Amino acid sequence: MNSKIKNVEIYELGEKGREVSSPWSSTILLVKLTSSDGLTGWGEAPTTFMTLPVRESMHEVERIFKGADFFNVERNIFDFYRNSFYLSKSMEATSALSAFEMASWDLIGKQLGAPVHDLIGGEFNPKIRAYSNGWYSDCKTPDDFVAKGKAMVKKGFTALKFDPFGPNYDRIDRQGAKTASEIVGALREELGEDVDLLIECHGRFNTPYAIKAAKGIEEYDPYFFEEPVHPELEVGLEEFKRHIETPVALGERILNKRDFTRLISQGLVDIIQPDLTNCMGILEGKKIASIADAFGVLVAPHNAFGPVQTAASLNLDYTMTNFAIQESFEESWPDWKKKLLKTGYKLSGGYFTLSGKPGLGIEVDEKILKSKIVDGMEPFDPAEPPWVVSGTFK
């Protein structure tokens, strides 16, 4: 058995001429590792307004992984950690590393003939409850949200995440808070108590305005408030939690188990959302989940990019005793992204299931991949940040 990484290929994929900046409909970054025995492993990195920096960082990671034994996940990560001086604060570096780590597990599983989840704890959750995101493009009024929300429920989803705050940023005025409350209230009334409503704040508020925004929504029993304050203002989470009883969720911008541990141990978060494409991959994700479990904190992985990320997240989800719910943009993807995998997982009736095949369980359609190779920065819209759902911020 030869478990060396012989070749590394890095791909930027997108849709030429599609001027949509949101990451679930524009660029994605993939790495393909080929072993000396001819096996292939796939990994994915995020691109939110940093496509080219992450892509270049992937070439830095390549220098550590190429020629290495892909079974030595811990050693290879530590070797990069030792060389990458700013790793703990560089999302570009941790994202690039995550893609290679993920692809290594894909190779390990294929070499051993087992799905990744069987190698990191086995099946605990046989099917994975999903919540839909990205569904509310161009929604501004309560009626807009209700119409599209009903369509998602009709597809089988029992949980929807959305950002009802429009163009309000840093602060929110009385009308902005009123509109957000009306949107959530209309969804609760029309969809009923059996559909969970997950409130996305996108880390946009200063603490007093986060509290103001949440107070008008809390009566509708949201599942959580995600990133209610700016990510640099984590001290504000303690104040937020003094006023708001709804669970706080966050984690897509936290890059390692140590930073997660600090927030969890201080009681600042109730549901963590590690993103396997930036928190150093599957093994680190498993460690983060175990730390959370020790404090009674649930895990709902962030998952806003492509199908390789989804497959990796699901392999971890299958094993977690403290799993809560899985993010899904699948229904809002462009057609090419939906077809990029020939096999891997299914989403039906609001639940995910894995293929059970070795590694991540996926087969990439390389014909589609090669037809979608692009080179350059993501589209840029000066009127709307790339982290919002299209048409909701202007």
For 98-113, the DSSP string reads HHHHHHHHHHHHHHHT
Both 255 and 128 in one domain: the answer is yes
Dump the DSSP string for 164-233: --TT--B---HHHHHHHHHHHHHHHHHH-TTSEEEEE-TT-B-HHHHHHHHHTTGGG--SEEES-B-GGG
For residues 272 and 67, what is the distance between their CA atoms, to the nearest angstrom? 35
> Which residues, including other chains, have CB under 8 Å from residue 294's CB and lie 6 or more apart?
none
Question: Domain end: 90, 114, 138, which one?
Answer: 114
Q: Are 221 and 96 members of one domain?
A: no
Within a domain: 371:
no
Both tokens of 82, joined, read: 């030792």
293 shares a domain with 236: yes
- Give yes or no: residues 217 and 167 share one domain: yes
Residue 190 in domain: yes
- pLDDT digits (tens), the chain, 394 positions: 789 999 999 999 998 765 554 655 578 999 999 999 999 999 999 988 889 999 999 999 999 999 999 999 999 999 999 999 999 899 999 999 999 999 999 999 999 999 999 999 999 999 999 999 999 999 999 999 999 999 999 999 999 999 999 999 999 999 999 999 999 999 999 999 999 999 999 999 999 999 999 999 999 999 999 999 999 999 999 999 999 999 999 999 999 999 999 999 999 999 999 999 999 999 999 999 999 999 999 999 999 999 999 999 999 999 999 999 999 999 999 899 999 999 999 999 999 999 999 999 999 999 999 999 999 888 788 888 888 998 999 7
DSSP output for 125-153: -SSEEEEE-STTTT--SHHHHHHHHHHHH
Residues 73 and 31 in one domain: yes
**Total tally of structural domains belonging to the chain:** 2
Same domain, 102 and 123: no
Q: Is 59 among the residues known to form the active site?
A: no
Q: Is 30 part of a structural domain of the chain?
A: yes
The boundaries of the domain holding residue 149 are 118-360
**Catalytic position from the list 117, 202, 230, 243:** 202
CATH code for the domain of 348: 3.20.20.120
Q: Is residue 372 part of a domain?
A: no
CATH code at position 43: 3.30.390.10
End residue of a domain, out of 114, 139, 157: 114
Note the helical H segments in the chain: 51-65, 73-83, 91-112, 116-119, 142-154, 174-191, 207-215, 236-243, 257-265, 282-294, 307-317, 335-338, 366-371
Q: Is residue 11 part of a domain?
A: yes
Report the distance separating Cα 22 and Cα 29, nearest Å: 14
Tokens standing for 29? 């970054």
Looking at the structure, do residues 278 and 292 belong to the same domain, yes or no? Answer: yes
Radius of gyration for the alpha carbons in the chain, expressed in angstroms and rounded: 20
User: Is position 117 annotated as part of the catalytic site?
Assistant: no
117, 318 Cβ separation under 8 angstroms: yes
Q: Which residues contact 134 (CB under 8 A, 6 or more apart)?
A: 22, 24, 25, 304, 329, 331, 332, 333, 389
Structure tokens at 145: 């949200």
Q: Does residue 132 share a domain with residue 105?
A: no
* Residue 381 covered by a domain: no
301-328: b (≥16 Cβ within 10 Å) or e: bbbbbbbbbbbbbbbbbbbbebbbbbbb
Counting every residue written for the chain, the total comes to: 394
pLDDT of residue 284: 98
- Indicate if 262 and 172 belong to the same structural domain: yes
- Residue 384 domain-assigned? no
CA distance readout (Å), 79 to 61, 73, 85: 10, 10, 11
Instruction: Say if strands 40-45 and 224-226 run parallel, antiparallel, or are unpaired.
Output: unpaired
Residue 288 to residues 98, 163, 260, Cα–Cα distance (Å): 14, 26, 7
Q: Does 158 lie in the same domain as 300?
A: yes
> Residue type at 247?
P
Contact predicate 43/98, CB 8 Å: yes
In a domain, 280, yes or no: yes
Place of tokens 């925004």: 213
Query: Alpha-carbon distance 307 to 280, whole Å?
Result: 18
Of 114, 132, 160, the one marking the end of a domain is 114
pLDDT of residue 22: 61
Question: What pLDDT does 17 receive?
Answer: 65
Looking at the fold, whether 59 and 141 belong to one and the same domain comes out as no
Two structure tokens written together for 335: 């057609």
Same domain, 42 and 182: no
